[in-house]
Structure 1
Amino acid sequence: MSTTLTFNRLFVSSELHGACFYNEFSPGANIISGRNTSGKSSLILSLLYTFGINDIKESLSEILSYQPTFRVDFSKTAEGKEDKYSIIRTQRSIYIKEPTGKVVPFHGINADNSAEHIALKEYVRGLVGFTLQLEQKGELKPAPLESMFLPYYISQSVGWVYLRESFSNLQYYKGFKDDYLDYYLGVSNSFDRVEHRQLTKRRDNLSADINNLRRYGKRAEFQFAKLADEAFGAQAEEYIESYIEISSSLEEERRKYINLCNKLSLLQNHYKILKRTKSNIKKQSYNDVDRCPACTQILTYSLEGLYSYYQKYNDTVELESHITEQLTDKKSEIHTSSKKITSISNEISKNYGALTSKSVDGVTFDQWISNKANAALYRKMQADIETFENELERIKSSLDSMITEKETLTKRTNKETEFKRVFVKNMSQLELQPLTDSRYLDLYKISSFPRQGVELHKTVMAYHFALNFLIANSKSAHRLPFLLDAILKEDIDETNLNVILSFIGKNLPADTQAFISISEHIKDETRADEALNPLERIKVSEIKDIYFPENSKLIYIGEGKLERSFLSQPLDNHQEIYIDTVNIIAV
């Protein structure tokens, strides 16, 4: 049995300005009216904000500048039992008064990832029995509070254009649409969703890789390499391993030869400098004007002390003899290495020359060697294709073994059939042309609609009412008031005005409240010759009586005359609830 919340009254007070908003609500339809920018949306947003929804802060920025305290008194009905709660939000804290009178505080809730906001989320989830899990970074985590209100809130800004975007922070969850719809429609998806998504992704990637490898392997250079490899393969494979080994030893010896030559060059330069130094030392004088023994530059100070220190460690004659020996050794090593390079090169020419001169169907061994990389790559691609196909079969088998997934897909199809029936009926009532493409009719495929203006507005309306109807019938998810902000577009004509109002009045959910905002500017008098568009001619009191149920309530913001008038009631007129609110938060 699902849990239903009903909002009984809203109290928003600013002690700093001595102003407030206070109103009690009908359990049925609540029609919120007033001038444009009067604060109709502020009423709906205040209800959400009080429950800890931080996503809408920016839209409430003007009200929040008054440093207000928000209070919603609400009833929770579950299994036929009704309990009354109060939830109060100040600048930094939320307090929930339970039916027993106990007050549960949460301090520091302005950031969604704060410890207190996470604790608040768990409390509210438990309160309404909200158990939706969403995938984030490969893990299933409790869904944010915004997703608890999402199917019941259509925002004025984007809600009548984009689906599931009345809140801005939900599309970052992987597989959000499917998990969200499954939960609210009562479709069981108790199998390991993370594993299933990983397997599905791997399956799709493998299929793409196999197709790409097959397509790439058909290129001309790979086909030529394959044919050349087949022509030379039998004879070449007998030589290729030893050929690769001896070729490697040749390359190694060449690197060794180059290294020895570099060392010899360094020794020779060292030897030249040493010879010059030795020669100049003999000519060295110690008369306060010396010359450098290496470059003969005149130095304006004596070097006696410096050379005395140097000659203690290195005797020039001994160093010359040592370098001479190294030069002789290096020349010998270079000669030996050169002979070895010549020997290996001759061996390659002698043992493999016959193969290099061979030609098969006009393809030489050199050409085969040049294409050997392509041939190896081609064989690697074929091996990868086989490996990928084997893995793909295992993954498909694993997915097929997930019987629960098959049942889930069947249930989704059934829900889509039911949704399509209601959605098509709604579009007909709204006098819309029928949609024929499955992308716009199958619930789990729908992301947007190919319409604009009033047509799009009515199509989105038909969608949300159909979804709400299905959620009510599923009886598995919590039920919250249906919050419809700005149901009429400014460019609407008389015909569409009547069609929309008639549709909403007939299709409001019977098991929950509804909050509907409609603009009306009440003027003291109107000139007889003043041209008014359909919206300007609206009398919401008449609309309420004509289109909405008897228990509907009309709530005017700023008496329908004032702009920015949400907090326009004197706080002194509501001292009883104000004092009670102060007492609750004084814990």
Structure 2
Amino acid sequence: MKSFRFENIWMLSHRDKKARKVNFHPKKNLLRGRNHTGKTSLIRSLFETLGAKPQGKLESWDENTASLLEFSVDGSHFFALHQNGRRALFNADREMIVATSNFGEWSQAFCDVTKFNLVFTDKKESEIRSADPACFFLPFYVNQDGSWQSEWSTFNGLKRFSSPWGAILEYFTGVCPPEYYRARAERAQESKILDEHRREYRLLERAIERFSRTLPLFGPKVSAENFADEIALLTKEVNELNQKQEVLRSAAVREQDLLSSLEQQIRLADDALAAYDHDAKYLRAGDSEPLICPTCNAEHTKSFLDLLNFAEDARVLRELAGRLRDDANQVRRRCDAALAELNSLNENYQRISRLLDTRKGELKFQDVVGSIGAESAFAAFEAERKQLQEAIDKALSSVDALEEKMKSLRAAKRTRAILDDFRSYYVAGRVALQLPSVDASKMKLTGRPDLSGSGGPRSILAYYAALWRTCQGATGTYDIPVVIDSPNQQAQDDINLPAVLKFIAKELPKDMQLIVGLETSTDFPFDKEIHLDVKYSMLREDQWDEAEQIVEPLLKAMYATMSSDVAESDDETTGR
């Protein structure tokens, strides 16, 4: 399992000449401060520096504030610098890796250093794209503006991917390895290519058909190669007709046999009903003699129950006869349809026969001249047809191979085990958060709860906690910091809020890094507390000099690199 940690962050406002440095403990951090003291600004800076923009906006915040974040991946340290959409990445020695204002280029650099190799299909461009930092942090950041509801709206921009939520959760919980999603994205791309080739092939077939109505493609050929192509085309058409004819003949024979059987059953049912009518008339006769058994000479009187049972048997028999007639009508229609298709095939056979017969007659100069234009068109059409068919076969082979690869990568037994753990964690979390127990046996990874009132945020917290515990399990792929801002949602009372804080402080995985934003102090233990106490002034004047010495040289290096890249691009454009 790969490990990601927040280490330090420096924020620098040139407009206000203020700055702030915050150091994070590798485990539990409490970010405490009243409303408007900068908790959300600090937390948002962590993610915006790395290219993941949370929902919502900030008031009284300098948009040009520069932020430098030190983070580590499996013990290797990096520095990410951001100012108003421009970003740079440095290694532990503060040597530049990349400097760019292009979000796609930055996302690729982030994925490279974190080894985050999840991919998606871009909905607009229909191409495979690497996931971005927002995908990386989505399951681990609970913000005030978009996370405490029933939808995934924590970060901006994720909707450009095609249904990313399920893939992100399955990636981090280990349901499917990263190779599965790369194969899925490649299959989606190959499927679109296959559909496009098939569409072009159908258009070509229609073009050939329309062209043949005005200028026949069949007739005397000057070129031996084109004549051979035409024979091959006729042979292919005859073979296809033979295959269709065999299928239709078999279907017609089966339907006729079934129809004969149904008609025989209908006749037997009608005969039985006729016998019933005769027997019923005898039983209802009031002056008829008692029934005498020919074996023991016992007399049997006609009871009402006997007549009733006899009538019920007749009713069932009538219903059976009706159903048999309905079935026979359906079979008869299918049989007629098969015979009609056979007749249309016979017409095609006759057409091909007439074309072949024309080759036996004496060639005329007018036939040759009239055939020259058709011959050229035929050669062009046939070449295009072969090219498209080869492309279709290649794309179809790729789709089949990728589907087989996906099947081999997704193990049903492992998936069930992971989902069972996730569901049990969710149920346990609800109980710890003083919510009623529920049946979660069919709950999905993407099944965010949708409860109203104070129970809503607690059910969301139980859901997130189940995801975090599952990601920390044996099949998880990353150990990523969990950030919660803020757990006091929907006016939790004096009973539920302590339960929420206790759950966060004691029930979450012990080894993960945790950052919690909270308005008031708490008696539950945290490894480090960061106190913000001045409204609308999270940055401080007394930290400006130290932060400027660290951040400013990196800012200059970033802008110098970006200016150099622009100059080189201009030289290439002007040819200098």
TM-score band w.r.t. shorter chain: 0.5 to 0.7
Q: Distance in 2 between the 1:31 and 1:410 partners?
A: 39
Q: Tell me if 1:154 matches 2:142.
A: yes
C-alpha displacement at 1:565, in angstroms?
2.5
Q: Give the conservation status (yes or no) of the 8 Å contact 1:31–1:515.
A: yes
C-alpha displacement at 1:169, in angstroms?
2.8
C-alpha displacement at 1:563, in angstroms?
3.0
Q: Tell me if 1:73 matches 2:70.
A: yes
For 2:176, which of 170, 174, 188 is the aligned residue? 188
Q: Distance in 2 between the 1:408 and 1:580 partners?
A: 49
Tell me which residue corresponds to 2:269: none
C-alpha displacement at 1:407, in angstroms?
4.1
C-alpha displacement at 1:577, in angstroms?
2.6
Equivalences for 1:127-142 in 2 at 5 Å? 127-137=113-123, 138-142=126-130
> Runs of 4 or more off by more than 4 Å in structure 1?
194-202, 223-235, 397-403
Q: Percent identity?
A: 20
Q: Tell me if 1:555 matches 2:530.
A: yes
Q: Give the conservation status (yes or no) of the 8 Å contact 1:130–1:478.
A: no
Q: Give the conservation status (yes or no) of the 8 Å contact 2:60–2:536.
A: no
Q: Give the conservation status (yes or no) of the 8 Å contact 1:53–1:146.
A: yes
For 1:64, which of 17, 41, 62 is the aligned residue? 62
Q: Tell me if 1:421 matches 2:442.
A: no
Q: Distance in 1 between the 2:99 and 2:337 partners?
A: 79
C-alpha displacement at 1:225, in angstroms?
11
C-alpha displacement at 1:49, in angstroms?
0.8
Partner secondary structure for residue 499 of structure 2 = helix
Q: Tell me if 1:478 matches 2:481.
A: no
Q: 1:7 to 1:125 in 2, by over 3 A?
A: same
For 1:565, which of 537, 541, 558 is the aligned residue? 537
Q: Distance in 2 between the 1:586 and 1:229 partners?
A: 80
Which stretches in structure 1 are left out of the alignment for 5+ residues? 109-115, 203-222, 243-396, 521-539
Partner secondary structure for residue 123 of structure 1 = helix
Deviations 1:60-82 (A, max 9, x none): 464234x2111222333x2xxx3
Q: Distance in 1 between the 2:339 and 2:76 partners?
A: 87
Q: Give the conservation status (yes or no) of the 8 Å contact 2:419–2:444.
A: yes
Q: Tell me if 1:36 matches 2:35.
A: yes
Q: Distance in 1 between the 2:447 and 2:515 partners?
A: 25
The AA in structure 1 aligned to 2:38 is G
Q: How many positions carry a matched residue from both structures? A: 372
Deviations 1:177-197 (A, max 9, x none): 332122112233545325777
The AA in structure 2 aligned to 1:96 is L
The AA in structure 2 aligned to 1:582 is E
Partner secondary structure for residue 498 of structure 1 = helix
C-alpha displacement at 1:172, in angstroms?
4.6
State which drifts further: 573-582 or 146-155. 573-582
Tell me which residue corresponds to 1:122: 108
| TM-score between the two structures when normalised by the length of structure 2 | 0.57
Q: Give the conservation status (yes or no) of the 8 Å contact 1:508–1:514.
A: no
Q: Distance in 1 between the 2:50 and 2:12 partners?
A: 16
Tell me which residue corresponds to 1:100: 93
Q: Tell me if 1:582 matches 2:552.
A: yes
Deviations 1:241-291 (A, max 9, x none): 99xxxxxxxxxxxxxxxxxxxxxxxxxxxxxxxxxxxxxxxxxxxxxxxxx
Q: Give the conservation status (yes or no) of the 8 Å contact 1:151–1:464.
A: yes
Q: Distance in 1 between the 2:151 and 2:333 partners?
A: 59
Which stretches in structure 2 are left out of the alignment for 5+ residues? 195-327, 348-399, 558-576
Q: Distance in 1 between the 2:96 and 2:409 partners?
A: 46
Tell me which residue corresponds to 1:443: 444
Equivalences for 1:458-469 in 2 at 5 Å? 458-469=458-469
Q: Distance in 2 between the 1:55 and 1:416 partners?
A: 28
The AA in structure 2 aligned to 1:423 is Y
Tell me which residue corresponds to 2:18: 19
Q: 1:19 to 1:436 in 2, by over 3 A?
A: same
Partner secondary structure for residue 583 of structure 1 = helix
C-alpha displacement at 1:11, in angstroms?
1.7
Q: Distance in 2 between the 1:228 and 1:188 partners?
A: 49
Q: Distance in 1 between the 2:471 and 2:191 partners?
A: 28
Larger radius of gyration: 1
For 2:412, which of 394, 397, 409 is the aligned residue? 409
C-alpha displacement at 1:438, in angstroms?
4.3
Q: Give the conservation status (yes or no) of the 8 Å contact 2:7–2:23.
A: yes
